[in-house]
Amino acid sequence: MLSQPDQLKDIQSQFQKCVRCGLCRSVCPIFKEDRRETAAPRGKVFLAQMLAEGEITPDSKAAQNLSMCLMCESCSSECPSGIEVHKIVSLARSMVNENNPSLTNKANKLIFKDLWSKPSLMNLSFNLIKTGQALGLLDFGTKSGLLPKSGRLLGELPGKPARQALPEIVPPTTRQKARTGYFLGCATNYLYPQVAFSTVKILSHLGCEVVIPRELTCCGLPQLANGEPAAGHNLARQNLQIFKRAGVEAVVCDCASCSATLAENWGQALPVYDAVKYIIQELKLDLSDKKQINNQPIKIVTYHDPCHLAKAQRIRQQPRQLLQMLPGVEYREMPGADNCCGGAGTFVVKNYDLSMRILDRKIASIKETGADIVATCCPTCTMQLKHGLDKHGLQIEVKHPLELLAETLGL
């Protein structure tokens, strides 16, 4: 019998709940592209059970089969038996890591347990990548095949991370309504600082004292998704204690994956909101006094549902509501708006070609709307969609809904 993470004991009963109905296969983006049973969610549940019971060894083949999962929670949200497949896959990956001391797994631990959990090392990595881009080394590496093709997704990094530009406390510009914590996720911080600036300015404009503690670390999702659950849960707990010490009433986040991870780990300890939902539902955004500027062309906007917003948090209405409130915007729903784009954080790095096949379906849906802008609430989705639109030669912008709101408010 293999050694098991303590959490596995809590979900072993879920193995028996799977009745092999196959509903998970109908919603799985991986299975749509790879029709083998090992690609299906129920196949991974069965694989995890065999690993837990010692019927198969935690070798590279098991690791490869388990890597073929986006952790998009499509199957978990649709399973009639209530099986949390994404948690089972995460713990199964952990079992493989713990019992297979390969070079790949050692690198996995180095990246997700040691590097990604330390802001100082993340900053160093950011600076090294920027230097590599400036010298043309990354471009040469991807073109020559020395670096993975997924390296092209990053695009040109911004001048500096958002955290270096934002103060720890941003006062409200109107009568104070709340003391609100802002969780600045890694991808937003390093790749899309303009999203962070928009979020903070909007919260301040709507009466929030915004607290952005310097000690914040990663939300823990990269660790949970890559077989390091103990490290992931520890990071989530650290962030909770930091915000508690700051005395905030609630925490908001503009990254769907971060807010989903924190909400799941914190439970009732501190309210966590998606930023769009918080602004619509709690701050009661009102744009009735905003009018379309004369002679400014109408922008056609569509919306892509991040999996960790629509499926993990059941948040679908508020982003659409916000987009439809914006003056000068014609909103058009795309076919399959909640279908995964295939990014899923590190999935695209490990499975680039498969990720691109899933992405192609999404790009076709966007193109069908005739949109000028596709909005989404996830930096990983933003990166993936930008890459796909560029590959297809489509001049369509990708923006967070709060960037569009900030423009409307003149912020």
The predicted pLDDT at position 295 comes to 61
The predicted pLDDT at position 94 comes to 81
DSSP state of 150: G
Contact present, 176 and 208 (Cβ < 8 Å): yes
The predicted pLDDT at position 344 comes to 83
Is pTM, for the whole model, over 0.85?
Answer: yes
Could you state, in chain order, the average pLDDT of each consecutive group of 10 residues for the chain (411 residues)?
48 77 87 86 86 81 85 87 85 79 64 74 80 79 76 81 94 91 93 95 95 93 84 91 95 95 92 96 85 74 95 94 92 94 84 90 95 95 94 95 93 85
The predicted pLDDT at position 156 comes to 81
The predicted pLDDT at position 204 comes to 95
The predicted pLDDT at position 108 comes to 67
| Residue 38: count of CB within 10 angstroms of its CB | 17
Alpha-carbon distance of 42 to 48, in angstroms, equals 10
The predicted pLDDT at position 35 comes to 84
Contact present, 56 and 98 (Cβ < 8 Å): no
Contact present, 235 and 117 (Cβ < 8 Å): yes
The predicted pLDDT at position 297 comes to 78
The predicted pLDDT at position 7 comes to 52
Contact present, 365 and 336 (Cβ < 8 Å): yes
CA atoms in the 13 A half-sphere facing the CB of 233: 12
The predicted pLDDT at position 392 comes to 93
Question: What structural domains does the chain harbor?
Answer: 4-99 (1.10.1060.10), 299-409 (3.40.50)
The predicted pLDDT at position 283 comes to 92
The predicted pLDDT at position 53 comes to 79
